[in-house]
Structure 1
Amino acid sequence: MMKLTCDVCIIGAGSGGLSVAAGAAQMGADVVLIEGHKMGGDCLNYGCIPSKALLAAAHDAHAPIHPVTGVSPVRPDVDYAAAKDRVAAVIDTIAPVDSQERFEGFGVRVIRDWARFTDTDTVVAGAHEITARRFVIATGSRPFVPPIDGIDSVPYLTNETVFDLRERPDHLLVIGGGPIGMEMAQAHRRLGSEVTVIEGAKAMGKDDPEAAALVLERLRAEGITIVEGQQAARVVRDGGQLTVDTGSGSYTGSHLLVAVGRQVNLDKLDLDRAGVRHDRAVTVDGRLRSVSNKRVFAVGDAAGRLQFTHVAGYHAGVVIPQLMFGVPSRAKDHHIPWATYTDPELAHVGLTEAQAVKEHGRSKVTTVRFTYDENDRAQATGKTDGFVKVLVVGGRPVGATIVGQSAGELIAMWAMALANGLKMKAISDTVLPYPTLAEINKRAAGAYFSPMLFNSDMVKAVVRFVQKYLP
């Protein structure tokens, strides 16, 4: 057993772990990074990157069939295997950024094995025993597969295996109507598969209902069957066909994708030996530090908060000052945005309308909105479906939802506003190039001030007085 000592030992080489490792090593700390599987974690290999690459192929397959600019429709020849090959190529292109060699160049010692704690300040990984002053658990998560009767006896896909397919499914059954399920449903429908989504509650149920309804309407219009309020109870295989029985109906297809949620990767760590309290994730305080072992921090999915790659990166920025300088820093969630990359996209930051009303009271919440069809750029490109909705309390936005073209990009302005406590005036005063979709945000901010300016008897009286006596 090779014994090592270091300042910081990081377990997991996904977004959060890599960010901590790079920052700490370049600031002069002695860093060990342990990864038992693939460098880059879920996002690079099975999540954000491959899914967006496949959605790009789906967009290219769909656009010629439904042109909006006067061009005659054309049905393209979709090569599903080639689309998947490009997904793999995109991963390979980005992989060097997350590679072992790059991080070793930063001075990080990288150990490619599974880690487990042996006591409060020691882990073992393969032939290495590492003692560290501080540990960061950044193990991410994996697909959760619910205990559906028969699921273990049939072939099924998750986001970790669906991108390996090279033969297009004739009929893809998707269990789960959340972001992963809906993105993969639309991608496969546009690439030529029949698709049925089975959701036990409400599809896209965590999003603003009005915005989600617009997305679901589009997906259904494209031919995706979306079954809501039916829980998958049993799965059976008959030859080359799979059938999902919900008790209220049966749905048969050629392939099954399970996309019902995520499970944090903690089971290999022997956290009890380190005195690290945990349930579904590591139990942490506001500083992302274990409540029971102050040597241990957790970031990303392992911290039990919002499960997004950008959250893991943000968490890295919270723990690095603590690890390097002993400066307390606290993680917040109110300014974290997220997006679902269907077409139309749906993005959100802060409180939903229901949450804002519950927290502040209806009388204190002003809801302002602006629709895509009132935006000149949207009219020019034919992408007029969608809206921005902003919740305002005391002149400051507390939440925003955007559904429509490039919603994931447009939400950035509201994320910045919430992160920095900006007022609506900061948005309305911003000068933007014309014509751009970004003007939708500015016009929404303007809509907040319009009643104060144009529907106020006092303002009108002042204007009449000034105009009467102004030299």
Structure 2
Amino acid sequence: MKAWKDKAIQRSSTPYDKRYHQAAGITVIEGNAHFISPESITVNRRHFSARQFLIATGSHLAVPNITGLEQTGYLTYQTALDLFRPPKTLFIIGAGSFGCEMAELFSIFGTRVYLADIAPRLLPNEDLETSELVSDIFTQKRGMTLLTSSKILQVAKEGLLKKVTFQRGGEEHTVKVNEILLATGMMPNTDIGLENADVEYLPKGIIVDKNLLTSNKNIYAIGDVTGGYNYNHVATYESRVAAHNILHRDKVAA
């Protein structure tokens, strides 16, 4: 699986490589940035000032408070495709877009998939028709077990397997699998001193207008950190909009 993933990334993505960006005339500063004023940041104790900033700090996995989860171990969006071979059985917690994407992928590789969510249907943020169509495909063509309206109570190691205990329909159930995958949503990376930069934000992300401008007229924000759709193509599109608005007087909307 890892070899397949690496090859797919190589075919479709720009390499995240310091030398690649330097060759394009971009100065790369590695480290954690933190605003110390609306015009300045600090990175590794070095201070940098600029007339304008673009925030694209992304997001991190929202890990649910489930008994035994940390001790048992789990896969994430960062580690799931680093497996050398797919597991025989997989329990996915979260049936949003990412959970469904991973369920489809692993089922293609031959994994027996259990897909669980506390919501009453898959893809709760999408149209009902879409949810029903995906559910039919997953059960009839992929042989998945869909566990909607399910609350995960605890997980635990049991030999070489992992036991998941959940509540559904007022009854408690257990299932044993090889791996558990978290698809429980993302949280924006906003711990960068936004208060010092006069940038307003909420728990779901930085507040931006239609031009991707924050409450500070010299700071833009794009991608996951704004709390929108967590997709690479969305962030790529927004980066182009923000770049145009930073460099030109005629603003365009995202």
1:304 aligns with 2:227: yes
Q: TM-score, length-normalised on structure 2? A: 0.88
In 2, Cα distance between equivalents of 1:140 and 1:180:
16
Q: Which runs of 5+ in 1 are unaligned?
A: 1-82, 332-471
In 2, Cα distance between equivalents of 1:313 and 1:163:
22
For the aligned residue pairs, the C-alpha RMSD in angstroms reads: 2.0
Deviation at 1:110, TM superposition (A): 1.1
Residue 89 of structure 2: aligned partner? 171
Residue 7 of structure 2: aligned partner? 89
Between the aligned residues of both structures, percent identity stands at 28
Deviation at 1:131, TM superposition (A): 0.3
Deviation at 1:229, TM superposition (A): 0.7
Residue 74 of structure 2: aligned partner? 156
Q: TM-score, length-normalised on structure 1? A: 0.49
Which structure has the greater CA radius of gyration? 1
In 2, Cα distance between equivalents of 1:193 and 1:330:
43
Residue 157 of structure 2: aligned partner? 237
- C-alpha change, 1:167 and 1:310, in structure 2 (3 Å) is closer
Summarize the alignment of residues 285-300 of structure 1 with structure 2, pairs less than 5 Å apart: 285-291=209-215, 293-300=216-223
Tell whether the 8 Å contact from 1:186 to 1:224 is kept in structure 2 after alignment: no
Partner SS state of residue 173, structure 1: strand
- Aligned AA for 1:237? K
Summarize the alignment of residues 436-451 of structure 1 with structure 2, pairs less than 5 Å apart: none
In 2, Cα distance between equivalents of 1:307 and 1:90:
20
Q: Which protein has the bigger helix share? A: 1
Partner SS state of residue 52, structure 2: strand
In 1, Cα distance between equivalents of 2:48 and 2:244:
22
Kindly tell me the number of residue pairs found equivalent between the two proteins: 247
- Aligned AA for 2:131? A
Q: Which runs of 5+ in 2 are unaligned?
A: none
Work out which of the residue numbers 162, 166, 191 in structure 2 matches 1:246: 166
Stretches of 4+ moved more than 3 A in 1? 92-99
In 2, Cα distance between equivalents of 1:112 and 1:314:
24
- C-alpha distance after superposition, 1:171-205 (max 9, x if no partner): 10100112221222222223222211111111122
1:209 aligns with 2:128: yes
Partner SS state of residue 330, structure 1: coil
- Aligned AA for 2:103? A
- Aligned AA for 1:91? I
Partner SS state of residue 174, structure 1: strand
Residue 282 of structure 1: aligned partner? 206
Tell whether the 8 Å contact from 1:148 to 1:234 is kept in structure 2 after alignment: yes
Work out which of the residue numbers 243, 248, 254 in structure 2 matches 1:320: 243
- C-alpha change, 1:180 and 1:108, in structure 2 (3 Å) is same
In 1, Cα distance between equivalents of 2:67 and 2:83:
25
Q: Which has the higher mean CA deviation after the structures are superposed, 243-252 or 89-98?
A: 89-98
- C-alpha change, 1:167 and 1:98, in structure 2 (3 Å) is closer
- C-alpha change, 1:96 and 1:288, in structure 2 (3 Å) is closer
Which has the higher relative contact order, 1 or 2, with Cα contacts under 8 A spaced 6 or more apart?
Answer: 2
Partner SS state of residue 21, structure 2: helix
